[in-house]
Amino acid sequence: MLSVQDTNTPVTFSPELISKFADVVSRYPEGKQKSALLPILHLVQAEFGWTSVPAMDKVAEYLAIQPIEVYEVASFYTMYFLKPQGKYMLEVCRTGPCEIVGATPIMEHIEKTLGVKEGDVTPDGLFSWRGVECLAACGFGPVLQIGPEYTFYENLTTESVDKLIGDLKGKANN
Amino acid sequence: MARKLLLEHINVPGINTFDVYRSKGGYAAVEKALKTLTPDEVVEEVKKSGLRGRGGAGFPTGMKWSFLAKPEGVARYLVCNADESEPGTFKDRYLMTHIPHLLIEGMIVASFALGAKTSYIYVRGEMMPQIRILEKAIAEAKAKGFLGKNILGTGYDLELYVQPGGGAYICGEETALLESLEGKRGNPRIKPPFPAIAGLYGCPTVVNNVESIAAVVPIINEGGDEYAKLGIGRSTGTKLISAGGNLRKPGVYEIDLGLPVEEFLYSDEYCGGIANGKRLKAVVAGGSSVPILPANLFLKTINNEARLMSYESLADGGFVSGTMMGSGGFIAYDEDQCIVRNTWNFARFYHHESCGQCSPCREGTGWMEKVLHRLEYGHGKMSDMDLLVDVSKKIEGNTICPLGDAAAWPVASAIRHFRDEFEWHVTHPHEATTRNFGIAHYADPLPKLEEAAG
Amino acid sequence: MKVTIDGFPIEVEAGTSILNAARLIGGDIVPPAMCYYSKLEGSGGKCRTCLVQVTKGSEKDPRPMPKLVASCRTTVMDGMEVKNITSPEVIEARKGVVEMLLINHPLDCPVCDQAGECHLQDLGYEHGAAKTRYEFDRRTFEKIDIGDKIQLHMTRCILCYRCVFTADQITDHRIHGILNRGDHSEISTYIQKAVDNDFSGNVIDVCPVGALTDKTFRFKNRVWFTKPVEAHRECENPKCCGKVTLWYKGEDVIRVTARKDEYGEAEEFICNTCRFDKKKTSDWVIEGPRKVSHKSVISSNHYDTLKPLPVVKTNPVLMEANKEQFERETRL
């Protein structure tokens, strides 16, 4: 179960996480460590489920940049969650090519099945869902993805979505 | 069956591993370039090939490379644009998933040609699985001595890294991509200076699409002249087309440029026609930002000639009756699709993806979306179509980067060609929410030239 | 280098932008600039109000540029020919940009402290349409205080980024920035943090609209009822020039700002002590009344001075020559 953190709760980065940060930073020239910001925010989100203010502040400290530079970036890109989400965030592509092969009915089905509106979290903390823009899988629509590894599910039908949600529930309860 | 240059071995089991890729002739281009050619000779081959940027703009790759500034003692960078996000386009994902070493091989050759010692592949963050695939492929290539220090004993050093994006269509614009790679918001830079002079970290930089980089491999293997023999006119070589929408066989196809669109659309070798036996209503030929065309104008040019899959033929007729090759994102719409809804959908996309830096795009994309939303949901007015065309004109050409144009063209072209369908949404607001306008006259044969003139 | 703008030639140094070349010529041919600020490196290019047409690239390469260019970020080439107010395309594009800047603007000038010295107000007056074609709800934000002296009213912001550049370049570190993207973008500190820095008050001066205002001046007076006076003091802060404009209401100093040039740019930046804490005449050495352009609402104060003399109305030649005044009179 995802441990939802309060905005003010301080976070600690494990030595393993810090060593992953260091590996990312080593890819860029001396003094250009800010380049590591996007990959590091992905690592933080994979670890904590979202990018909280204390986590972003610690990232800023690690990269020796101002906290606002992290907030600016995290709020610009759509992949970083600025509030806690369900353990499984179902992101359904809703752009043109997926839409014409039935993205809207899939989203309506997910909303009905999970019983929560777009962006909300199910009471058990397991699921959230949202429509996202083109995921570059237009030939295999409708598609959805689930972070943090962004596993892809293609050619969705209401049945395959039901099975997917069932499987994820089973996985979480084991 | 046409020759495949990029996807020839795509179905070979294990082609995503170094050993199988190598056994199929992989990395021969690296050996040839590094051992027998100078960097300038590689650039020359690419120039001779006539290869044009496969990301959308179609600018000659060799020429782009030759513009790269080479000041003494300053690092140069090659950055691969794998931020594939143009609706309708999924060829780069396909290539990176199934044949990642082709991209790595192309990156090594291209980096060598440009004198880059560190190169980056900027992959959109949503493609985390492809990022893992590429990282694994890079590790394999490095273990075999194709990356790192003193590659193949030639003295050439290259480090190659994969950089994930964070979810932003705009980062497909090359200067926004560089900003993002520097850890900033993806705001496109104001040009000049162009990346060839001041790109990544202020150093001379070339940014190329995945497919352009991959195409360098067959160009070096077979020679630029041989590559240029494929295709038609200034559209040389092969092109990956991402075929999606209401097709019987959607997928990624490698075609010789110059293939008749009718053959691409209906032959079993390619798309196999429209799904469920329906009729074709409209086509977006090169990704969501290029002008949409009704079926009749897509299959034939205004002069009643068969249209070909080439940069020139698709653009035949200009914005009045033509479209563009773009990134090769081919979307087919069957007779049951609503053009108003699709236009609204695309407008919402561009509104969502506008970076917000310059005023016409930031404000105009939202405005267009709102007007289109009201048309789609039966609250539109007859004057809305002219308003949309005017707003699109106010955006087009007046923005920092091409996203403004990309947002304006689909709206302007949809109204140009499907105005009666938009008007029907205004005159039949209730009906429009329950049924579609249908195919109407959009697939009717074009009038013969004489008749049109008379 | 020689560049010709709307038919006026001028010699400028290499590296000069078209906008700055136009400013050297001066007058009506100077493109308006909402985001460019000559003292802030990297500013400009965003608002698109200064778009011009380059009809001849240079002596060496005379081809025209295919699109309109942002004059603030395009450097001149020798022999370049530029059209600003003589190009119908430019006028049309600028009208479009002004419309875009205004569709989400609250148009609350009657209650805005910036009114009278607002660049957007001037721009709307010069280039805007009388009616809006935008029929949707306008974007709104809550007002927030960033520190006890500065109020941020994001609803009025046109996202020129000047305050961001100011914080980066004039203050020692930046706490506010641009959050979100597209038309959801906003200037913010993300978490409620006070912008607290010796030079933070300069963001008020660089703001072209009423998005960042001086809380110590809030609702004190309309600018056109105040009397601007140039003054200076020996400021303890070594980075502060101490040269300011004091804005009087009767005997009281109700506002202190940096001295601004004819394009509304601060000549030199001032510290927060000078701006917020020195509001007694005795704090300052008075230099004299500030010269105010005859075009400014501050100098007019009573609008009837704009009216052409009665004799003009009877002479067709004089009427033609004073066309602008007549139009202005009708608009008022």
- Those residues with Cβ within 8 angstroms of residue C222's Cβ, 6 or more apart along the chain or in another chain: C115, C116
Residue C263 has pLDDT above 80, yes or no: yes
Least confident of B266-275, C60-69, C188-197: C188-197
Residue A93, annotated as binding a ligand: yes
pLDDT value of position A46: 95
Q: Which of B385, B398, B400 to mutate to test the interface with C (most CBs of C within 10 A)?
A: B398
Question: What is the domain range of residue C39?
Answer: 2-95
Q: Identify the bridge partners of residue C228 per DSSP, sorted by sequence position.
A: C247
Chain C residues whose CB is inside 8 A of the A68 CB are 174-177, 189-190
Give how far Cα C281 sits from Cα of C228, C249, C266, C287, Å: 13, 12, 21, 12
Has residue C321 got a pLDDT over 80?
no
Res. C172 pLDDT band, cuts 50 70 90: confident
At the second CATH level, the architecture of A88-173 is 3-Layer(aba) Sandwich (3.40)
Q: Is A130 on the interface with B (CB under 8 A)?
A: no
Number of domains in chain C: 4
Closest chain B C-alpha to A83 CA, distance in angstroms = 16
Please state which of the ranges A156-165, B14-23, C205-214, C288-297 shows the lowest mean pLDDT. C288-297
CA distance C137 to chain B (A): 10
Residue C309 has pLDDT above 60, yes or no: no
Predicted confidence band at C86 (pLDDT cuts at 50, 70, 90)?
Answer: very high
Nearest Cα to B256, choosing from B288, B296, B215, B293?
B215
Is C186 in the same domain as C244? no
Q: Look-up: residue for tokens 């003692």? A: B73
Give the CATH number of the domain where residue C190 resides: 3.30.70.20
Query: Cβ A68–C176 below 8 Å, yes or no?
Result: yes
Among C191, C214, C237, the domain boundary falls at: C214
Q: A3-7, B38-42, B74-78, C151-155: which range is least confident on average?
A: A3-7
Instruction: Supply the mean pLDDT for chain C.
Output: 89
Tokens of A138: 């237009």
On whether residue C68 sits in a domain, the answer given is: yes
Average pLDDT, rounded, for chain B:
95
Please check whether residue C242 lies inside any domain of the structure.
Answer: yes
pLDDT bracket for residue B446 (50, 70, 90): confident
B268 pLDDT above the threshold of 70: yes
CATH 3.40.50.11540 occupies which residues in chain B?
18-229
pLDDT value at position C126? Answer: 85
Confidence of residue B65 (pLDDT cuts 50, 70, 90): very high
pLDDT tens profile C91-109: 999 999 999 999 999 999 9
Residues C111 and C202 in one domain: yes
Look at the pTM and tell me if it is higher than 0.90. yes
pLDDT, residue B447, reads 77
- Contact between B370 and C178 using a beta-carbon 8 Å cutoff: no
Of B183-192, B240-249, B257-266, B433-442, give the lowest mean pLDDT range: B433-442
Confirm whether residue A138 is marked as ligand binding.
Answer: yes
The first and second tokens of residue B392, run together, are 């699109």
Distance from CA of C12 to the nearest CA of B (A): 19
The per-residue pLDDT for B454 is: 41
CATH topology of domain B339-434: de novo design (two linked rop proteins) (1.20.1440)
Structure confidence at residue C303 (pLDDT)? 44
Domain boundaries, chain A: 15-76, 88-173
CATH level 3 topology of B240-330: Ubiquitin-like (UB roll) (3.10.20)
CB count in 10 Å sphere of residue B428:
14
CATH topology for A15-76 is: Arc Repressor Mutant, subunit A (1.10.10)
For the record, the structure tokens of C170 come out as 């004039």
Closest CA to B57 of B401, B442, B444: B401
C301 within some domain: no
User: Which of C67, C99, C159 has its CB closest to that of B362?
Assistant: C159
For this complex, say whether ipTM is above 0.85.
yes
Task: Provide the β-strand partners of residue C227.
Answer: C248
pLDDT surpasses 90 at C292:
no
- A25 is known to lie in a ligand binding site: no
Q: What is the DSSP string of B234-253?
A: TEESEEEEEEEESBSS-EEE
Residue A96 in contact with partner chain B when CB distance is under 8 A: yes
Establish if C299 belongs to a structural domain.
Answer: no
Among B230-239, B248-257, C127-136, C233-242, name the one with the lowest average pLDDT. C127-136
Please answer yes or no on whether A29 and B284 come within 8 Å at the CB atom: no
C130 pLDDT tier (thresholds 50, 70, 90)? confident
Identify the chains in contact with A, defined as 3+ C-beta pairs within 8 A. Answer: B, C
Q: Region B72-99: what's the mean pLDDT? A: 96
Q: Are residues C41 and C91 in the same domain?
A: yes
The pLDDT of residue A2 is: 33
Structural domain includes residue C209:
yes
In the prediction, which pLDDT does B404 show?
Answer: 95
Residues C14, C45 share a domain: yes
- Rounded to an integer, the average pLDDT of B287-302 is 95
DSSP H/E element including C152: strand C150-152
* Residues β-bridged to residue C246: C229, C256
What burial class does residue C57 get, using C-beta atoms within 10 Å of its C-beta: 0-12 exposed, 13-18 middle, 19+ buried? middle
Q: Please name the residue that has the structure tokens 């000559």.
A: C38
Is residue C276 included in any domain, yes or no?
A: yes
Split at pLDDT 50, 70, 90, the class of C289 is confident
> pLDDT (tens digit, 0 to 9) for every residue of chain A, 174 residues total?
233 345 667 899 999 999 999 999 999 999 999 999 999 999 999 999 999 999 999 999 999 999 999 999 999 999 999 999 999 999 999 999 999 999 999 999 999 999 999 999 999 999 999 999 999 999 998 999 998 899 999 999 999 999 999 999 999 887
- Shared domain check, C75 and C143: no
The per-residue pLDDT for B3 is 80
Say if residue C6 is in the same domain as residue C91: yes
Amino acid at site C132: T
Q: Write b or e for each residue in C149-160: b if 16 or more Cβ atoms lie within 10 A of its Cβ, otherwise e.
A: bbbbbbbbbbbb
Q: How confident is the model at residue C304 (pLDDT cuts 50, 70, 90)?
A: very low
CATH topology of domain B18-229: Rossmann fold (3.40.50)
Q: Please indicate if any CB of chain A lies within 8 Å of the CB of C176.
A: yes
